[in-house]
Amino acid sequence: MKVSGKKSILINYIYIHIPFCLRKCNYCSFYSEKFTSDLKNRFVSFLIKEINQVKQRFKIKPLTIYFGGGTPSLLDVSDIQKIISQFDLSQVQEITLESNPKNITSVFVQKLSETPINRISLGAQSFIDSELNLLGRLHNSEQISRAFELIRNQGFNNISLDLIYGLPNQKMLDVQFSLERIIELNPEHVSLYCLNLEENVLLYSKKHLIPEDEVIAGFYDLIRRELISSGYEQYEISNFAKKGFESKHNLCYWSDKLYLGFGPSAAGYFVNTRYTNPADLEEYFGAIKTSQIIGNLVSLTNEEHEKEFIFLSLRKTKGINLKEFENKFQKDFLEKYRKTIDKYLDNNFLEIEGEFIKLTPKAYFISNEIFSEFM
Ligand code: SF4
């Protein structure tokens, strides 16, 4: 199905999936292909065609652009510049490049600083080399620190680090060790990932060595407390930032904003409709050749939209804005979900503050259970 006549829809948030990695990590189920320069060049030329096809159907004025992957730092800086220049940047506030410490060189960051990229998300994951090995990461802890310093010294003042926890055989002291290194580096933003192994990843064979839920909840609690006492604000269940450095792009996903995804496997959302590009490079190229990109549209019913709004808003520490809910769905949230709300207010998993209803910190780790009761 083709989308036509949507030029009146204004889109402010753009995700671009760069589907290449040097090697597959042992825990990763994101779509990516082995990097070769030829395939990357072919991809970039199709990506630019895709952007221009979609631009004919939507009014696009990005506030944020997010290069995710895969490994966007495998692109040449000239590719990044060429991709960014396809968009009207007159209102842009944040352009993020996910980067692998392995690819960060002084020449790369120096050239990057001459582009409009103003936020780097560095896939640190852990500062213990045996953990990085287990995860199949290509970098070691020293390379993370070196990459971080190169980026910082080049003048980037908005850097995010990722931390994975809940690894096979992991102990509290291991989590604490990586966390302390992160706090020493003093990034503006920290994203947490609780390891979740799908059956198709190499590390799945070690799933039985993952600590019990209560132990992992303890890891989460430690990370949360330490980050907050080091000056970070928690603005989402797994995201922490220094004041003013919340990821504007990621907030769009939790705030019911419209966004477009470019590149294979990228997803988009506009006016009660979702789509996902083919998670296969050749199929993706084919869809662009035949102008069938943004096919497979999935319409959301009002009920589905409402459920998504609830669980995405509850991921934010601010919670659901009750007035916004009423305006969007023409109903009173507290009335409609009275029974579930009462149950969780009684045991202090939910609280109401002014116009917002939100999870309490003790509910964060078991948030999925709570969300399911609203579904
Ligand atoms: S570098 Fe990132 S996207 Fe690539 S395999 Fe590793 S975790 Fe997955």
57 CA to centre of ligand 1 in angstroms: 32
Q: What pLDDT sits at residue 338?
A: 95
100 CA to centre of ligand 1 in angstroms: 9
Ligand 1 pocket by C-beta < 6 Å: which residues? 21, 24-25, 28, 30, 32, 69-71, 100, 123
Q: Order the strands of the 239-241 sheet from edge to edge.
A: 233-236, 239-241, 189-194, 159-165, 119-125, 94-99, 59-69, 10-18, 259-262, 267-270, 273-276, 298-299
Pick the residue whose CA is nearest to atom 6 on ligand 1. Answer: 25
Ligand 1 atom showing the smallest separation from residue 23 Cα: 5
Residue 260 within any structural domain of the chain: no
**Are 94 and 150 found together in one domain?**
yes
Asked if pLDDT for residue 3 goes beyond 70, the answer is no
254 CA to centre of ligand 1 in angstroms: 23
- Counting the structural domains of the chain, the total is 2
**Are 248 and 348 found together in one domain?**
no
Distances (CA, A) of 108 to 28, 69, 78: 25, 18, 10
**Are 42 and 159 found together in one domain?**
yes
CATH number (domain holding residue 370): 1.10.10.920
92-112 tens-digit pLDDT: 999 999 999 998 999 999 999
**Are 340 and 241 found together in one domain?**
no
Helix-helix angle 77-84:37-55, to 10 degrees: 10
Query: Vertex 332, ends 329 and 333: CA angle to 5°?
Result: 85
Q: What pLDDT sits at residue 247?
A: 98
Looking at 224, 254, 284, which one is the last position of a domain?
254
**Are 342 and 200 found together in one domain?**
no
Q: What pLDDT sits at residue 191?
A: 98
Looking at 217, 232, 254, which one is the last position of a domain?
254
**Are 44 and 179 found together in one domain?**
yes
Residue 148 within any structural domain of the chain: yes
**Are 180 and 315 found together in one domain?**
no
85 CA to centre of ligand 1 in angstroms: 26
**Are 163 and 226 found together in one domain?**
yes
Cis peptide preceding 319, ω within 30 of 0: no
Asked if pLDDT for residue 374 goes beyond 90, the answer is no
Which residues neighbour 55 within 8 Å (Cβ) at sequence distance 6 or greater?
86
Residue 284 within any structural domain of the chain: no
3-state SS class at 268:
strand
Residue 45 within any structural domain of the chain: yes
Residue 206 within any structural domain of the chain: yes
Asked if pLDDT for residue 362 goes beyond 80, the answer is yes
Asked if pLDDT for residue 1 goes beyond 50, the answer is no
Residue percentage of the chain with pLDDT more than 90:
94
CATH number (domain holding residue 91): 3.20.20.70
Pick the residue whose CA is nearest to atom 8 on ligand 1. Answer: 28
**Are 71 and 215 found together in one domain?**
yes
Residue percentage of the chain with pLDDT more than 70:
98
134-193 tens-digit pLDDT: 999 999 999 999 999 999 999 999 999 999 999 999 999 999 999 999 999 999 999 999
For the residues 61-87, what does the mean pLDDT come to?
97
**Are 41 and 170 found together in one domain?**
yes
**Are 151 and 210 found together in one domain?**
yes
Residue 281 within any structural domain of the chain: no
For the residues 262-283, what does the mean pLDDT come to?
95
**Are 71 and 167 found together in one domain?**
yes
Q: What pLDDT sits at residue 5?
A: 53
For the residues 264-271, what does the mean pLDDT come to?
94
For the residues 203-221, what does the mean pLDDT come to?
97
3-state SS class at 278:
coil
Domain of 22, in residue numbers:
10-254
Please provide the average confidence, as pLDDT, over all residues in the chain.
96
Residue 139 within any structural domain of the chain: yes
Asked if pLDDT for residue 315 goes beyond 70, the answer is yes
> Measured between alpha carbons, how far is 109 from 22 in angstroms, rounded to an integer?
19
Classify burial at 13, counting beta carbons within 10 Å of its beta carbon; exposed 0-12, middle 13-18, buried 19 or more: buried
**Which amino acid would we find at residue 194?**
C
Residue 130 within any structural domain of the chain: yes
